[in-house]
């Protein structure tokens, strides 16, 4: 029987890491940014794996630097990220809708998933692929893994400081450990 699971942002960890580039990259930060506000639903049935689906919405305004860096630097990074790169006021949400999920059972209550879907970010929608492990823990699902995205694929312009000697690289690394709670429908 197909079960519905609601994503629980408060019990989850979802981060993105940006990397510095340029001539003086060694003197710059590679900030880790927490994605704090997201919601969505997973549909999953161990006996009907082909019916698995995922929908997620992320509030871009919830992204914040979590590294131990000086407050002034944190404010500059967050300000430029929201205003110049993500243009959060224009594009407040990121959405992901799975189009196909291939699931294989590893052992009891443990699965590997290849998730293909449409990611809408910064006014651009592209097909992306994410690999994840899925664990069933009582009435909860735990989904975890990593993936990368290219800023340029979503028309997101990087920013630089120190007259271009330090800049944000095109590739971002995402890491997630998401808890989803079974809904009673």
124-163 pLDDT, tens digit per residue, is 999 999 999 999 999 999 999 999 999 999 999 876 554 4
The average pLDDT across 45-62 equals: 93
The token pair at 139 is: 């009435």
Question: What is the structure's pLDDT at 160?
Answer: 58
How far is it, in rounded angstroms, from Cα 99 to Cα 93? 19
Would the pLDDT of 23 be above 50? Answer: no
How far is it, in rounded angstroms, from Cα 8 to Cα 10? 6
Buried b vs exposed e over 142-181: b needs ≥16 C-beta within 10 Å?
bbbbeeebebeebebebeebeeeebbbeeebebebebbbe
CA 94 to chain centre: 9
Residue 78 backbone dihedrals phi, psi, to 5 degrees: -65, -40
Q: What is the pTM of this model?
A: 0.90
Which CATH code is given to the segment(s) 3-182? 2.40.128.110
> Domain locations in the chain?
3-182
Residues 6+ apart with CB under 8 A from 108: none
The token pair at 56 is: 């997620």
The average pLDDT across 47-69 equals: 92
Lowest mean pLDDT among 24-33, 93-102, 103-112, 129-138: 24-33
How far is it, in rounded angstroms, from Cα 5 to Cα 45? 11
Question: What is the structure's pLDDT at 26?
Answer: 45
């Amino acid at each position: 029987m197909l079960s519905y699971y609601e994503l629980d942002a408060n019990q989850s960890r979802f981060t993105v890491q940006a990397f510095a580039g340029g001539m003086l990259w060694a003197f710059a930060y590679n900030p880790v940014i927490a994605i704090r506000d997201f919601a969505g639903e997973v549909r999953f049935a161990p006996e009907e794996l082909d019916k698995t689906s995922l929908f997620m919405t992320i509030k871009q305004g919830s992204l914040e630097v979590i590294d131990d860096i000086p407050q002034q630097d944190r404010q500059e990074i967050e300000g430029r990220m929201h205003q110049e790169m993500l243009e959060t006021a224009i594009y407040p949400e990121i959405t992901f809708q799975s189009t196909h999920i291939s699931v294989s059972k590893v052992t009891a209550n443990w699965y590997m998933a290849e998730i293909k879907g449409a990611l809408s970010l910064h006014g651009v929608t592209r097909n992306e692929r994410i690999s994840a492990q899925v664990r069933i823990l009582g009435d909860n699902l735990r989904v975890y893994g990593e993936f990368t995205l290219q800023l340029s694929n979503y028309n997101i312009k990087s920013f630089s400081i120190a007259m271009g000697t330090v800049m944000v690289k095109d590739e971002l690394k995402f890491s997630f450990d998401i808890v989803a709670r079974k809904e009673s429908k």
